[in-house]
């Protein structure tokens, strides 16, 4: 099954899970998904800090169920190797058992000065290494209030994605991340329509539909409603992915919503 056919629940742990907590969290999520597996088209991904990737991968390798979460990372450097202190390459992530990588998160754009051009180079490197890039886009509150959200999304899609992009896009309005505020259903539908209209123009291909996720204060209570929105293919979860129960509740809510939706 291609990535375009799947639905996604992806947990971004950021820099918030220490070693023992992360290992316990990954184990609890994995064991629960084995006992109560979601449908095969719902893909679960966990993105721990770099320091936990190797050990979590080893632990996941002991579980053969296809319902087990895939492993993702939170960034990569565009060069395959070299004198880049503190960085990690896409190929190094592959060596650790990583399948997905988050790129262009607004926290990296803001805190590390990452530009669309820099993110595009990372996308190229991730794709060349065999990783599935999850590219984050989204407007700031001022841009939204000034009616510039669509132009911001267009600029980010044009600048951050490669021609023929084969990955995932996560729409994360910056004003919603960690704020407890989410866009209305109507606003989110409008933004998704804009994104889906822009993507084919950037990709210049007709044979691939890019999955589009939503991220920004995602909770289990919202999940059923989110997955019923046309054109939404999943969620990128922040703080709610740091506890097994809240993350599993989101996966269950997604399963219930998608199982009850007309085919």
For 176-195, what is each residue's pLDDT tens digit? 888 778 899 999 999 999 99
Comparing CA positions, the residue from 169, 185, 181 lying closest to residue 235 is 169
For residue 14, give the DSSP letter. T
**Confidence at residue 1, expressed as pLDDT on a 0 to 100 scale:** 46
Q: Which of these ranges, 17-26, 207-216, 226-235, has the smallest mean pLDDT?
A: 207-216
Q: How many CA atoms lie within 13 A of 181 on its CB side?
A: 8
For 3, other C-beta atoms within 10 Å of its C-beta total 17
Q: Which active-site residues does the annotation give?
A: 105, 172
Question: Tens of pLDDT along 47-84?
Answer: 999 999 999 999 999 887 889 999 999 999 999 999 99
Specify the CATH number for 3-260; select among 3.50.50.60, 3.60.21.10, 3.40.50.460, 3.20.20.70.
3.20.20.70
Comparing CA positions, the residue from 57, 70, 52 lying closest to residue 131 is 70
Write out the two tokens for 156. Answer: 């980010």
Contact (Cβ atoms closer than 8 angstroms) between residue 75 and residue 111: no
Q: How many CA atoms lie within 13 A of 262 on its CB side?
A: 1
**Confidence at residue 32, expressed as pLDDT on a 0 to 100 scale:** 97
For residue 262, give the DSSP letter. -
User: If you average pLDDT over residues 222-240, what whole number do you get?
Assistant: 96
Entry pTM: 0.95
Contact (Cβ atoms closer than 8 angstroms) between residue 243 and residue 17: no
**Confidence at residue 179, expressed as pLDDT on a 0 to 100 scale:** 79
For residue 169, the cross-strand partners are: 135, 212
Q: Where are the domains of the chain?
A: 3-260
Checking if the pLDDT of 6 tops 50, the result is yes
Question: Tens of pLDDT along 136-171?
Answer: 999 999 999 999 999 999 999 999 999 999 999 999
Q: What is the 3-state secondary structure (H, E, C) of 192-221?
A: HHHHHHHHHHHHCCCCCCCCEEEECCCCHH
């Amino acid at each position: 099954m291609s990535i375009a056919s799947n639905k996604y629940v992806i947990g971004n742990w950021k820099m918030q899970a220490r070693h023992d907590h992360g290992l316990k969290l990954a184990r609890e999520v994995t064991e629960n998904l084995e006992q109560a597996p979601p449908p095969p088209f719902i893909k679960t991904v966990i993105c721990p800090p770099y320091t936990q990737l190797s050990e979590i991968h080893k632990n996941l390798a002991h579980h053969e169920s296809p319902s087990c979460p895939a492993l993702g990372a939170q960034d990569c450097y565009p060069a395959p190797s070299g004198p880049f202190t503190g960085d990690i390459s896409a190929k190094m992530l592959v060596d650790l058992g990583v399948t997905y990588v988050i790129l262009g998160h607004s926290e990296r754009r803001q805190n590390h000065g990452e530009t669309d051009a820099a993110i595009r180079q990372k996308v190229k490197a991730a794709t060349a290494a065999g990783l599935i890039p999850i590219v984050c886009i989204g407007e700031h509150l001022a841009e939204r209030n000034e009616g510039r959200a669509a132009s911001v999304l267009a600029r980010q899609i044009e600048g951050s994605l490669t021609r023929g992009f084969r990955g995932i896009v996560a729409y994360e309005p910056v004003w919603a991340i960690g704020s407890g505020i989410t866009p209305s259903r109507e606003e989110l539908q409008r933004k998704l329509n804009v994104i889906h209209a822009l993507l084919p123009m950037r990709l210049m291909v007709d044979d691939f539909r890019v999955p589009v996720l939503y991220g920004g204060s995602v909770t289990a209570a919202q999940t059923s409603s989110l997955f019923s929105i046309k054109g939404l293919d999943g969620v990128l979860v922040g703080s709610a992915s740091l506890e097994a129960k809240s993350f599993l509740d989101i996966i269950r809510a997604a399963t219930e919503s998608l199982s009850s939706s007309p085919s």
